[in-house]
Amino acid sequence: MVAVVVLLLLAAAALAVAALLVRFSRAVSELRRVRRMTAKLPGPPMYPLIGNALELACSMDEVYDRLHSLASTHGSMYRLAIAHVTFAFVMDPDDMEAVMTSGKTSDKSVTYGTLEPLMGRGLAVLNGDEWRRHRKAISPSLHLDILRDFVPIFSKQGAAFADTLAELAEKGEAFDVTPLSGACANHTICETVMATDLHRNDPMKRDFLDAIPKAFDHFMYRVWRPWLLSEWVYSLHRSRFPEYLKVKDSLNRFTRKIICEKKKALQKHEIPQRKRQAFLGHMLVSEEGAALSEAELAEEVKTLVMIASASSMDALTFLIYTLAIRQDIQDKVRQELDDILGEDRGRPLQHSDLAHMQYTERVIKETLRFFSVVPIFARTVTEDLLLPSGFTVPRGSQATFWLPYVHRNPQWFPEPDKFDPDRFLPDNSRGRHPFAYVPFSAGPRNCIGQRYAMTFLKTVAATIVPRLRFEVPDDGPSRLEDVPLTMNLTVSVRGGANIRVHRR
């Protein structure tokens, strides 16, 4: 009897090993196929096993410059392999449109799975029917009517931001505006998207917001070391994994707290009844929101807040830094806002005012072109895809977009290194390829929060610019093209966006 059991166990083990060998053999075969099909593309020399990993063997501060150098060297289509992952960079607008609108490339890149343990299975990482179900549930909570009601909150938080900056103006010292932009963005997101009025210094809220940049640090660290994409392998990293666990805990605890408190408020009828609710309220009371489980809702809260926090902080920072360096642009924005607000520069902005901020909007658009806040994103190719350029992107590869190259294509943006808001005048935009400017991605998987972001930036600009004047210190860059950049999930100013502020 014992012998029979042993034989059965050995047979089961043999079958398991055989299955693993078959899967490994198929994976190797697919990898060879991808490498063979991308071999003719431009790109740096590849080495066995590691591919082009040596090209990115640099500090995180240098990654942005390395990627931009590769795109500048190899052009609008090239390949880059890091260990077992092959990236096919696609940067011609026709090819980008084909990729972004194809059902063969609707899945987010496998590298985004690294964010899942931290951010949860939200829109940023979901695919297929699950993504469509979540998108349908969330979209009504960011309706135009909701954004209209957010303007007073944006204005209030912008006024608090202006007050903080005005206090620093009294000192006359240079400071990095990035963390202050982040605080403004984060408190605004908490009050709008999550409809929570927790105090700014609430310990759990502070831990949550502090954890966001750390989470993205871990993401980038692992993406550029694909052997660490496995959670189990990363757990062996003794110097980083303990902090990684703390970050996860901070993100999860705050999310659970917010949802719990919102549910209690709803049960006590403490939330005003209205036709449309903001994100969290909508998800808890609507039929669309009911399609998501409590666990799915918690993960969407983390996803939305984390991505909005990072991108809004850096976009606002770049806008202020641009105005500080380009005093002529700042003067024109201020004149437009003075004309709109009249003598009462401190009055709260109204939603109707936004339509008149045409020059300010063009400045924001040009800022997002010049500084691509989310510079890189990718899609997994599930079936071979023939592009208009004639190249076939093989299944199993990652179709990747490097926006700093796309947004400086002289075919669509003459003198691309020149900062010119008038590029976005209607006459100058006519005929431009719709996929030549995609700061919020494009196609079915475009950014769900793009209207929120533009409304936030316009409102905060209208609140701070009429009251304050920004400038860079003497040792700061005198030209926008000289601003040093670094990259996490988003792009920021390397060394900090140091400015001085003066009251008007």
- CA torsion, ordered 165, 200, 150, 153, to nearest 10 deg: -50
Q: What is the mean pLDDT of residues 363-367?
A: 98
CA 443 to chain centre: 16
pLDDT at 272: 57
Q: What structural domains does the chain harbor? A: 1-7+20-503 (1.10.630.10)
CA distance 301 to 289: 12
Q: Does residue 86 contact residue 397 with C-beta atoms inside 8 Å?
A: yes
Q: What is the mean pLDDT of residues 396-417?
A: 95
The answer for residues whose C-beta is within 8 angstroms of residue 282's C-beta and 6 or more apart is: 140, 141, 276, 288, 289
The answer for residues whose C-beta is within 8 angstroms of residue 170's C-beta and 6 or more apart is: none
pLDDT tens per residue across span 453-464: 999 999 999 999
pLDDT at 2: 59
Q: Does residue 259 contact residue 295 with C-beta atoms inside 8 Å?
A: no
Q: What is the mean pLDDT of residues 227-253?
A: 86
Confidence of residue 22 (pLDDT cuts 50, 70, 90): low
Alpha helix segments (H runs only) across 326-449: 327-341, 351-354, 358-370, 403-406, 426-429
Q: Does residue 134 contact residue 300 with C-beta atoms inside 8 Å?
A: yes
Q: Which secondary-structure segment (H or E) carries 385?
A: strand 385-386
Confidence of residue 466 (pLDDT cuts 50, 70, 90): very high
pLDDT at 3: 61
Q: What is the mean pLDDT of residues 240-259?
A: 86
Which residue shows structure tokens 């003719």? 40
Q: What is the DSSP letter of 397?
A: S
Q: When comparing pLDDT for 315 and 207, which is higher? A: 315
pLDDT at 338: 92
Greatest mean pLDDT among 22-31, 131-140, 240-249 lies in 240-249
Among the listed ranges 78-82, 104-108, 187-191, 230-234, which one has the minimum average pLDDT value?
104-108
- CA torsion, ordered 330, 333, 337, 339, to nearest 10 deg: 110
Q: What is the DSSP letter of 58?
A: S
- CA torsion, ordered 497, 500, 501, 504, to nearest 10 deg: -130
For 328-341, letters b (16+ CB in 10 Å) and e give ebbebbbebbeebb
Q: How many helices (H) and strands (E) does the chain have?
A: 18, 12
Among the listed ranges 140-154, 175-189, 393-407, which one has the minimum average pLDDT value?
140-154
User: For residue 83, is pLDDT > 90?
Assistant: no
Q: Does residue 461 contact residue 312 with C-beta atoms inside 8 Å?
A: no
Q: What is the DSSP letter of 51?
A: B
Greatest mean pLDDT among 12-16, 105-109, 337-341 lies in 337-341
Q: Does residue 30 contact residue 396 with C-beta atoms inside 8 Å?
A: yes
Q: Does residue 315 contact residue 373 with C-beta atoms inside 8 Å?
A: yes
pLDDT at 198: 57
Q: Does residue 223 contact residue 487 with C-beta atoms inside 8 Å?
A: no
The answer for residues whose C-beta is within 8 angstroms of residue 457's C-beta and 6 or more apart is: 312, 315, 316, 319, 364
CA distance 180 to 188: 12
Structure tokens at 299: 């993960």
The number of CA neighbours under 13 Å toward the Cβ of 75 is 4
Q: Does residue 281 contact residue 271 with C-beta atoms inside 8 Å?
A: yes
Per DSSP, what are the bridge partners of residue 90? 77
Q: What is the mean pLDDT of residues 340-344?
A: 83
pLDDT at 405: 96
Tell me what the pLDDT averaged over the chain comes to.
Answer: 85
Q: Does residue 431 contact residue 119 with C-beta atoms inside 8 Å?
A: no
Among the listed ranges 4-18, 66-80, 108-122, 449-463, which one has the minimum average pLDDT value?
4-18
Q: When comparing pLDDT for 276 and 326, which is higher? A: 326
Among the listed ranges 16-30, 149-163, 258-272, which one has the minimum average pLDDT value?
16-30
The number of CA neighbours under 13 Å toward the Cβ of 258 is 33
What are φ and ψ of residue 392, in 5° steps? Answer: -105, 120
Q: What is the pTM of this model?
A: 0.89
Per DSSP, what are the bridge partners of residue 393? 385
pLDDT at 228: 83
User: For residue 176, is pLDDT > 70?
Assistant: yes
pLDDT at 482: 94
Q: Is 447 annotated as a binding residue?
A: yes
Per DSSP, what are the bridge partners of residue 492? 486
pLDDT tens per residue across span 312-323: 999 999 999 999
Structure tokens at 349: 């902005």
Among the listed ranges 226-240, 387-401, 444-458, 463-477, which one has the minimum average pLDDT value?
226-240
